[in-house]
Structure 1
Amino acid sequence: MATQHDDRPDFTPYPGPSGGWGSVKSLADIIPREKNPVETGKELLRQNKHDGFACVSCAWAKPHPPHPAEFCENGAKATAWEITSQRVTPDFFRAHTLTALREWSDYRLEEAGRLTHPMRYDRATDKYVTATWDEAFAAIGAKLKGYDPRQVVFYASGRASLETSYLYQLMARMYGNQNLPDSSNMCHESTSVGLKAAIGVPVGTTRLDDFDTTDCILHFGQNVATNSPRMLHQLRSVRKRDVPIIVFNPLKERGLERFTDPQNPIEMATGKETQIATQYLQVKAGGDLAAMMGMAKWLIEHDRVDAAFIAEHTHDYDAFAAKARATGWDEIERESGLARAEIERAAETYAGAKAAMAIYGMGLTQHVKGVDNVRMLVNLLLLRGNIGKPGAGPCPVRGHSNVQGQRTVGITEKTELAPVDKLKERYGFEPPTQKGLDTVEACGGVIDGTVKAFVSLGGNFVRAAPETRLLEEGWAGLDLSVQIATKLNRSHLIPAAGETWLLPCLGRIERDLQAAGAQMVTVEDSTSVIHPSVGKVDPASPYLLSEPAIVAGIAKATLPPNPAVPWDEWVGDYALVRDEIAAVFPHFFARFNERLKEPGGFWKGNKAANREWDTPTGKAEFVIPDVLNATGFADAGGRFRLLTVRSNDQFNTTVYGYSDRFRGINGTRQVVLMNRADMDALGVTQGQKVTLAGDADDNMDRRVAGLMAVAYDVPPGCVVGYYPECNPLIALAHHAEESHVPAAKSVPVRIVAGG
């Protein structure tokens, strides 16, 4: 495996399946590299277990009873990455200016190791220098007291626990704003908006048990082998029952094609593989709306709908059915990039199932019409009564390990989703009711200067967000930047014009000792199950504080004392925080501490799963899309649809190495994958360096140069590049219309010869 950039990259196709010996070899590379193999091996046996810790990588569900090794390749990488023995000490910062560190790659920055001391940026030397926690909290509090609350952003990356998240949102609202953007705004906000409008809940309705009873799976825009590999165990079990899995995805992703279970000795010894997709439709980027409309059209015209369910539980079916009948196959084929026969075959398979699940990821949500994508998926499920019964329902696959849970306990910019009345009653303050800034709006505020201070609870915001060049320029004009983190990343290297603080925290896998003893935290997975998590590894440094302690430290230094808000007591015993959560969210968290004893966690409940529709009409809502192209722009000569993807060797902005094994790309991330016919038409040769130029209608110059063109099996008119390297091409205004999710899966670009 290549672990660093190579001037001689290799583009040899990978012949193996997902899982198998390839995963084993990948782990054999990273675990020794992090120089803590014994501890890592011990912790992997505790990973995703009820008495262990919740994986710090993805949010996929945790089965009970668990597998003997309940971790995947990427989850193991995340564990090794977090408990590495390598350290970024004050000596490191004495040796490196921020100007010099900005020349380092993302991989090299995080590979340097765990942060060990609170640090303050010193402009005179262009270096971070050590500070005490008291100095940090006092300085940050003094700064925050001087702003109009509307000028401050409190960002959360999606990995913080329920306990930390609850304290964080309470601090922000007591401060006076709801500027609480989080990583949901960048990925599944289209789900939160779309599902809420359609079925009355902002999350999926399925649970792990549904994989045991489903008769069909529709799988849209989600790369399971890279983003949630443990789900392959459920997909494999489904296929062992001969259940069809129909995949809609622009790229042929290996995990959706075939899988060898690394935990099955016979499969490992014989090389036996399980075919995952029974039908694989390479839809154009942004073409899922058309494909789903084609399926709906077939179902309606062939009278294969559940009329009784539709009559009892849905609203506006007749208008949707009329639209489906009136939509022509020429338009469906053109916009989807698929043949009518392929779509009809998928529809007929779906119609033959008594219960069907719909799994999806950001391939649906990160488009200008991302909310319409989600709602059209709900339309498909409603046509066959596939919500609120075993083996059926929408299954959005969340990314960060607690991003769904953060929303559950109040990390939201929207007043209607926050328990402001209960917060007022319990803590005796007047919570803000003005809508706060989401991620796109926060970026706009940084760029135009209306945001003065940015507090980041984890994450790598500058690197993860769109409009990179302008965002970096605006970031340098902030008056205050506070970064709570475990490792160094690019967002830490752009100092604010005023003060910049780097505050190192404990990781979830580390022992968290407080006044009441060793502490447990909790997270919520993609299926709305709440899990305990206990860290046991020795902290990377004696100078680290827990995330709750850091949030409380900032709050105490900033806010006036409130006898109803005992920050120190809460930090001393997280069970008390859980009591607060239970009091404010009793419908989800009644008897919170007691229910954590349930093996496998507890389900927080879901009205739509019981066919209770919390919508204005009291029924599930059909939606009628106004267009079938989800990209938000028209095709034009020379214009391509760029979709950004992760490699097999990364999680979000964290790059573990330079091997995208499944795609056969090793030694570099500076590539653009192209259809061979498109390359020939442009006169572009394999390995030739080209520039991607943004083709938005705002006349802004956005470019990413030095990309090697690689022929790949992608739909004509589409190109593929890595996230976050291609984020500079995404205009801030290019986002989902209702949810403001950056439309990173369909970005208008042109190919310019020369790198």
Structure 2
Amino acid sequence: MTTPSTATTPFDPTGQDPALPHDTHAAGGWGSVQSVAGLLREGGGTRAAAMLRSLNKPRGVMCPSCAWAKSAKPHAFEFCDNGAKATLWELDPNRADADFFAGHSLTELRMWHDHDLEKAGRLTTPLRYDAATDRYVPVAWDTAIAEIGAELRAMDPEQAVFYASGHAGLEAAYLYALFARAMGHQNLPQSSNMCHETTSVNLKSMLGTPVGTCTMEDLESADAMFFFGQNTGSNSPRFMHTLKAAVQRGCRIVTFNPVRERGLISFVDPQSVAQMTVAPATDISEKYYQLRPGGDIAVMAGLMKCVLAAEDAAPGTVLDHAFIAEHTEGFDATVAAVRALAWSDITRNAGLTQPMIEEAAAIWIGAKRVIGVYGMGLTQHVNGWLNLGMLCNLLLMGGHMGRMGTGISPVRGHSNVQGQRTVGVGEKSSHMPADKLRSLFGIEPPTKDGMNAVQMCEGIVDGRVKGLVMLGGNLVRALPDRERMEAAWPALRLTVSIATKPNRTHLTPGKIAYLLPCLGRTDEDVQATGKQAVSMEDSLSHISGSIGTAPPPGPQVWSETAIVARLAAATLDPNPALKWDAWAGDYDLIRNLIELTYPQYFARFNDRLFTPGGFYRGNPARDRRWETPSGRAQFTVPTTLSALEAELPQAGAALTLITLRSHDQFNTTIYGFSDRLRGLSGSREIVLISPTDIARLGLRDGQKVTLVCAVDDGIDRRVGDLAVTAYDLPPGCVAGYYPELNPLVPLSHHEERSATPAYKGTPVRIEV
């Protein structure tokens, strides 16, 4: 890692310190082109190039990376370098086959870096863990399915957990959710539990919808966008084209983030000849403020105070009184609470000055159509619910909800994480309507809510969970409190991993453990009725079909849909209404079931599967129908000014840890060791600290230190051998990479209402 001198100018929350690591280039541009070209040279070949040309286009492959929207009028190259990495990672010519596992014990593989483990290549044969040799050994599919089914049948249904990452299509996800409920449980935690569950739970109570309200048309007509805790350049780079166009037509963008992320500072369009040669980069954020971690509530309280002051000065010109009266509840109490807040408390918690907040508010006041955009920097806090409530407050005050060019827009992570929840993968009865399950399949579904991810972890630690089926993902690596979880995992009676590549989770087997190879999004999926398509839902609630074209990595690699159907048939009692074999052979039949189960979203599903840009499944809040108990959108009274569990002392020993993903990473998958857009490269074993805090704590650049969790619950959590790296961060804040620093986040340290782990606001101390 680059380790510059700690001599620097005082921290400026509005500008980059040039003495510290940062990328001097705009996001996109030649950096992205060179990244993709390098990947193709490493082994992509002509097939990979053809695959990339079809990515995110009708009847092509929908990107297996992020969930950003698909354009109805795609560019010639409708992918980013992150999408190219994910696609080529899946098209890996290497094979983690039976010979690979014969040559490596799990004890040996635990010494490998995560990057090297996945680079072993695609899984090609079903495997069963043999404890005597500490190796995975081949097993016939029929034997594996029968043995797993027998183990699941022998369990109390509530002892089983079915986890899903955001990879599988709607078809496999629907069968998975149906399988669990037919078995008698709703233990269906999902990757959303660790990322955006704050949204799913709290937007539902505030606006009556568990997802964002915006479409691409809204983003294309907004006058202003306010970003909170979202890193567009690394996490959803195709969004940059929309932002560039928005700025060019006069939309004003304001960003609040503790870290200065290049994608929201400037952008060069790799598909623009002018920008790639002589034209200047597009400046994205008109204002960019590095607020204190957890300071979003305070910032939005300050913005609301400014809006109220402007309304007081010119009554009837700023607030949308008609909208507030007709569509909302709780306005008066919220306004009274905001007016009572002192500016000194607001600025102290925000880490910004009053004039900074006032200049941002002036942009809000001057806009007729405002959108709030956010990422996990807003959701992964103990008081994430209030972060979200305050953003809703700000939008509701101006009637910026349910009309063109307005709304709230969470930017989701994995490609189908939102869609899986839409078709039933979730722990609540409301996620899959009981009346439909009775009428379609003659089953009496469970009524008891199941386990979310944190509850699942607690159940594994205390022994209540006996069996764990994982549909994709790298769960052990993604969870908080990782060392405790890795220690508890082997006590599980059964672990089943359905995966494309080996990862860290597979090296922590239960007493009986299976590793089942599945097709990826890019692979051709041929079943009894011919070639199949799968579908997924993007961040803006549009559904798109995807058709893989690459030859599967081996003849024993099954689709996720087929694996789920076969496991269900082996586990459940015969039921003529549960046609697992027929569904596995014809995915059109599954889409018909999805349509019958969720007619409000999926009318004419098969007919609309390849609609350019996807078909919109609708959102009641966008139509100003508030499916809340009161039938109105809810204002939220602020009860604190910090999203952290407790306000940390300004000069105390405790610091606030925020975890980050690098530009060479997607979720837990590490593609390489370059964090290009932050000006960092090399080891991921680092801790980023402001020069002010380095000096205050008596540290030096490059010094190896240990981070220790400061939550006092009697458990010692620490990560050592981290290199101190001076970086442009607010005082009192440190940052490091996810998932390496996950052991520092306690299971109990999560968002109050949804149990989303507080990865963006964990108190830590530094030990030398």
Q: State the SS of the aligned residue for 2:491.
A: coil
Question: 1:363 deviation in Å?
Answer: 0.5
Residue in structure 2 matched with residue 68 of structure 1 by the alignment: 76
Offset of residue 476 of structure 1 = 1.1
Correspondence 1:726 to 2:741 = yes
Query: Does structure 1 residue 141 correspond to structure 2 residue 146?
Result: no
2:69–2:613 CA contact under 8 A, matched in 1? no
Q: Give the unaligned 5+ runs of structure 2.
A: 3-19, 312-317
- Corresponding residue of 1:562: 575
After superposition, residues 276-675 of structure 1 pair within 5 angstroms as 276-303=284-311, 304-496=318-510, 498-636=511-649, 637-675=652-690
Partner residue in 1 for 2:714: 699
2:61 is the alignment partner of 1:53? yes
Amino acid at match of 1:317: F
CA displacement at 1:368 relative to structure 2: 0.3
Indicate which of 691, 699, 711 corresponds to 1:676: 691
Shift of 1:49: 0.3
Q: Which residues in structure 2 correspond to 1:113-132 (within 5 Å)?
A: 113-132=121-140
The amino acid that maps onto 2:173 is: S
Summarize deviations over 1:352-373 as a string: whole Å, max 9, x none: 1000111100000000011111
Structure 2 Cα separation of the partners of residues 369 and 514 of structure 1:
47
Q: Which residue of 2 is the match for residue 716 of structure 1? A: 731
Query: What per-residue deviation string (whole Å, max 9, x for no partner) do you get for residues 705-753 of structure 1?
Result: 1111111110000000100000000000000000100000001100111
Instruction: Determine whether 1:745 maps to 2:760.
Output: yes
1:430 & 1:684 partners in 2: Cα distance? 62
Q: Quote how far apart the aligned CAs of 1:377 are.
A: 0.6
Distance 2:595 2:523 in 1: 26
- Distance in 1, matches of 2:541 and 2:25, equals 34
CA distance in 1, matches of 2:45, 2:703: 40
- The secondary structure found in structure 1 opposite 2:706 is strand
Native 8 Å contact 1:633 1:748 kept in 2: no
Runs of 4+ in 1 over 3 A off after TM superposition: none
Cα pair 1:658 1:668 within 8 Å, conserved:
yes
CA distance in 2, matches of 1:483, 1:671: 31
Secondary structure in 1 matching 2:543: strand
Distance in 2, matches of 1:708 and 1:734, equals: 25
Asked if 1:690 is matched to 2:705, the reply is yes
Structure 1 counterpart SS, 2:629: coil
Amino acid at match of 1:568: D
Instruction: Quote the Cα distance in structure 2 between the aligned partners of 1:338 and 1:178.
Output: 44
Q: C-alpha deviations, 1:60-83, integer Å up to 9, x for none?
A: 001111011000010000000001
Equivalents in 2 of 1:580, 1:282: separation in Å?
Answer: 48
CA distance in 2, matches of 1:699, 1:256: 41
Distance in 1 between residues matched to 2:625 and 2:513, nearest whole Å: 48
Percent of paired sites with the same residue: 52
* Residue 12 of structure 1, CA deviation: 5.5
Amino acid at match of 1:732: L
Contact map agreement 2:71 2:612 (CA 8 A) in 1: no
1:87-135 deviation digits (Å, cap 9, x = unpaired): 1111101110000000001100111110010000001100010011001
Equivalent residue, structure 1, for 2:171? 163
More displaced stretch, 414-423 vs 542-551: 414-423
Letter in 2 for 1:441: Q
Deviations 1:667-697 (A, max 9, x none): 1101111010000011111111111000002
Q: After TM superposition, give the deviation of residue 467 of structure 1 in Å.
A: 0.6
- State how far apart, in whole Å, the 2-side matches of 1:119 and 1:614 are: 47
Query: Can you list the C-alpha shifts for 1:366-397, whole angstroms capped at 9, x where unaligned?
Result: 00011111111110000110001111100100
SS in 2 for 1:708: strand
In 2: Cα distance, 1:579 partner to 1:418 partner: 15
Give the alignment's TM-score, normalised by structure 1: 0.97
Q: Distance in 1 between matches of 2:746 and 2:113?
A: 23
Partner secondary structure for residue 213 of structure 1: coil
For residue 625 of structure 1, report the CA deviation from its aligned partner.
2.2
Structure 1 stretches lacking a partner, 5+ long: 3-10
Deviation for aligned residue 1:418: 2.3
Quote the Cα distance in structure 2 between the aligned partners of 1:31 and 1:182: 33
Question: Which residue, out of 30, 34, 38, partners 1:21?
Answer: 30
Give 3-state SS (helix, strand or coil) of 2:216's partner.
coil
Q: Name the SS for the 2:459 alignment partner.
A: helix
Whole-angstrom CA distance in 2 between matches of 1:481 and 1:717: 41
| 1:297 Cα deviation from its structure 2 partner | 1.2
Among 188, 202, 213, the residue aligned to 1:180 = 188
Name the amino acid aligned to 1:482. Answer: V
- State the Cα distance separating 1:271 from its structure 2 match: 5.9
Alpha-carbon distance between aligned partners in 1 of 2:684 and 2:280, rounded to the nearest angstrom: 31
Aligned partners of 1:649, 1:268: CA distance in 2, in Å?
22
3-state SS of paired residue (2:54)? coil
Cα displacement (A) at 1:597: 4.1
Shift of 1:29: 2.6
8 Å CA contact 2:227–2:373 kept in 1: the answer is yes
- Say which is worse superposed, 481-490 or 371-380, in terms of deviation: 371-380
For the pair 1:151 / 2:163, whether they are aligned, the reply is no
Q: Verify the 8 A CA contact 1:578 1:592 in the aligned structure 2.
A: yes
1:269-296 C-alpha deviation (Å, 9 max, x unpaired): 1262000110011111111011001101
| Candidates 266, 276, 279, aligned match of 1:258 | 266
* Residues 385-430 of structure 1 deviation map (CA, whole Å, 9 limit, x = unaligned): 0001111100100001001000110001011332122112210111
Distance 2:88 2:687 in 1: 30
Deviation at 1:348, TM superposition (A): 1.3
Asked if 2 retains the 8 angstrom alpha-carbon contact of 1:301 and 1:325, the reply is: no
Structure 2 letter corresponding to 1:188: H
Q: Is the contact made by 1:219 and 1:358 (CA closer than 8 Å) also made in structure 2? A: yes
Question: Once structures 1 and 2 are overlaid, which stretch shifts more, 610-619 or 405-414?
Answer: 610-619
Query: How many residues are aligned here?
Result: 743
Kept in 1, the 8 Å contact 2:425–2:431? The answer is no
The answer to whether the 8 Å contact 2:21/2:727 transfers is no
Give the CA deviation at 1:599. Answer: 2.4
Query: Which residue is equivalent to 1:248?
Result: 256
Residue 302 of structure 1 deviates from its aligned partner by 1.9
> In the alignment, does 2:107 pair up with 1:96?
no
1:39 has 2:39 as partner: no
- Secondary structure of 1:302's match? helix
Query: What is the CA-CA distance between 1:699 and the residue it aligns to?
Result: 2.6
Q: Aligned letter for 1:583? A: L
